Amino acid sequence: MLQAILKKFDINNKELVIVGAGNVATSLIDTIALRNIKPKKITIANRTYGKAKLLAEKLPNIDNILKLSELGNTSGDILINATELGGSATDDVFNEDIVSKYKGVVDVTFKTENTNLTTLAKKLNIVCSSGWDFFTFQGKVFLEDVLGIAINVEILKKYVYEGLKTNV
C-alpha cells in the first residue's frame, strides 16, 4: 500500500489521518517506520477506540488516536481510509466537510472503481489514490517477487483495471 501512496504523495513531514486500526492500517504504519519515512504526525481514528489504543501502544510512530466519531474535528494533509467503509460496509462516515480538509485522499476498498470517498475527492479536486491503485501495486510487488523482473505499473494497471471492471 505504501508504494501506491508514494506514487502520488510525498508523506515526509505531512500530517496523516488514517481511519482504521486493522491489518492494512497496521502494515502501512509499520512499513512507514521500517522505511524510515517521517510524517509530521500520524493520527488514527477507529470505530473501536480500544483497538486504536492497543495499536498505538505497539507502534511508536502513531502520535494521536481518536474515536471515529471525532474524525470531523480533526484535519491533516492526507486522509487514508484503511477500513471496509465504501467496500463491504456502507460508507456513512466520509462527507464533503471532512474530505475538504485534506490535500490528498487514499482509499483501500475495491468493490467499485469510484467509492464515495474517491468520488468526493475528485469532486473537490483533491489528489486521490484508489483501492484499485492499491490492488495494482500489490500485483506489482507479487509479480516482481515471483518473476524477478521489474514490472511497469502503468501497463499492469491497465490490465488490473480491465479485470476488476469485468469481475468485481
Footprint on this chain of ligand NAP (rule: CB under 6 A): 20-24, 46-48, 51, 68, 82-85, 87, 89, 108-110, 131, 134-135, 138
Closest CA to 164 of 123, 134, 144: 134
Residue 167 CB, nearest approach to ligand NAP (Å) = 14
Q: Which residue is nearest to ligand NAP (CB)?
A: 22
Nearer to ligand NAP, 125 or 167 (CB): 167
Q: How far apart are the first and last CA of the chain?
A: 20
Supply the minimum distance, in Å, between the C-beta of residue 41 and ligand NAP. 19
Shortest Å distance, C-beta 52 to ligand NAP: 8
Indicate the pairing of strand 15-19 with strand 78-81.
parallel
> Cβ distance 120 to 148 under 8 Å?
no
Nearer to ligand NAP, 104 or 131 (CB): 131
Least distance (Å) between residue 149 CB and ligand NAP: 21
135-154 burial code (b ≥16 CB/10 A, e <16): bbbebbeeeeeeeeeebebe
112/138 with CB nearer ligand NAP: 138
Neighbours of 61 (CB within 10 A): 16
Q: Which three cell numbers stand for residue 152?
A: 511497469
Nearer to ligand NAP, 12 or 48 (CB): 48
